[in-house]
Amino acid sequence: MSELKDLRKKIDDIDQDILRLLNKRAEIAVEIGKTKLSKHLRIHSPVREREVLTRLRENNPGPFPNEAVRLIYEEILSASLALQQPLQVAYLGPSATFTHLAASRQFGSSTDYLPVSTIREVFEAVTRGKAQYGVVPIENSTEGVVNYTLDMFIDSDLKIAFEIMLPITHNLLSKSGKKSEIKKIYSHPQARAQCRNWLDRNFTGIPIVEELSTAAAAKRVSRDTTSAAVASELAASVYNLQFVEKGIEDNKTNYTRFLVIARESPGKTGNDKTSIMCSVKDKPGALYLILRPFARHKINLTKIESRPSRRKAWEYIFFVDMDGHLEDKGVRKAINDIKKECLFLKVLGSYPSAE
């Protein structure tokens, strides 16, 4: 027991040193904030945050795991930023949606979060200055793109500042957790589609009612003892629900990609993506002429998606993601080369790739 007591004393001493150093770090962060304000610089520096996390990962000798280091330092960075200047982030709400979870993973718990009802309202909150950033879903690995998000970029001047990749695990939640009491299930259409086979096997004949979000479904079920919701683990905690079944998604490698929007994109990090949107001329080989410059300049395209332009019948807008930053010579040349083949072209931003 004396040996255990000595080891715990060493832990206590280290914890005291960590606490002292955290406060010393916070004092320096406050001074940095004052310096930035005096020089009219942006307080939040995503590039600097990425540099800090990358350096820590590369220099970590272990045995403390890199993922734990990342989570801890994301909270340290979030708290330090809050001391400099409170950060407002709008997201597709209500509380406990997967978008909320993605936002908290990116910005930490010290951020001031603003839940709104629609993707359009997320864009409007950032455009009007109610929030510095907005978080919106863009695509799911099982169900594909969120078309409404793509459509919002057509008329918006906002830029993509980050992307977030979030593993999605769905659960069936109810007040009692008892399967026999469930007479109705509430779900967002995307969540329902991602759990279609499981629901068909286990709840044949039970009506499934659409809700605006998984969190809205959980909130409704918190007031109804005979219904269940397809929702996140966070929703179970927020709305005090029990698990009927965990992990009901059909695809266990189910990810959703989210975009963080802002008035401008961050600088180059060395591990970036660039997104553009363009409308091509209506002539044979038009799409080939758009794609050829990327091949010639050895630019890897990671996504290409088309949407009706909403301006003219049978006119389409292409959304393209590529590896690299607009400051990279190859990316810049490829985009310049395709401009003459486009009716219009808009760069949506260059931003850090999700790790």
pLDDT digits (tens, 9 = 90+) for 69-128: 988 998 898 888 888 878 899 998 888 888 998 998 888 888 899 999 889 999 999 999
Instruction: Exactly one of 97, 256, 269, 274 is catalytic; name it.
Output: 256
Res. 43 pLDDT band, cuts 50 70 90: confident
Write down how long the chain is. Answer: 355
**CA-to-CA distance for 279 and 98, rounded, in angstroms?**
32
162 in active site: no
Active site residue 153: no
More confident residue, 288 or 85: 288
What does the alpha-carbon distance between residue 171 and residue 246 come to, in Å, rounded to a whole number? Answer: 5
Average pLDDT of the residues of the chain? 90
d(CA 159, CA 266): 9
Amino acid at 95: S
Q: Predicted confidence band at 172 (pLDDT cuts at 50, 70, 90)?
A: very high
Cα 170 from Cα 191, distance rounded (Å): 7
pLDDT beyond 70 at 294: yes
What lies within 8 Å, CB to CB, of 189 at 6+ separation is: 210
Q: 88-168+255-262 maps to which CATH number?
A: 3.40.190.10
∠ CA 183-250-233, rounded to 5°: 65
pLDDT exceeds cutoff 80 at 314: no
Averaged over 197-223, what is the pLDDT? Answer: 93
What pLDDT sits at residue 313?
Answer: 60
Confidence class of residue 312 from pLDDT cuts 50, 70 and 90? low
Given this model, what pLDDT does residue 283 score? 77
Class of domain 2-84: mainly alpha
Integer Rg of the chain from CA: 23
CB 284 within 8 A of CB 317: no
Q: Count CB atoms within 10 A of the CB of residue 135.
A: 29
Check residue 51 and give its pLDDT. Answer: 87
Q: pLDDT value at position 72?
A: 92
Tokens of 188: 């967002």
Q: At 271, list the tokens.
A: 């591990």
CA dist., res. 173 & res. 246, Å (int): 9
Question: Which whole number is the average pLDDT over 153-171?
Answer: 92
CATH of 272-352, one of 2.40.30.10, 3.30.70.260, 3.40.50.10800, 3.40.1160.10: 3.30.70.260
What proportion of the chain, given as a percentage, has pLDDT over 90?
A: 58
User: 171-245 architecture in CATH?
Assistant: 3-Layer(aba) Sandwich (3.40)
Intervals of CATH 3.30.70.260 along the chain: 272-352
CATH 3.40.190.10 in the chain is located at: 88-168+255-262, 171-245
Which candidate in 98, 258, 294, 318 is catalytic?
258
Q: According to the model, what pLDDT value does residue 311 have?
A: 67
Neighbours of 40 (CB within 10 A): 6
Listed in order, the ranges of the chain carrying CATH 1.20.59.10 are 2-84
187 has a pLDDT exceeding 90: yes
The yes-or-no verdict on residue 16 having pLDDT over 90 is yes
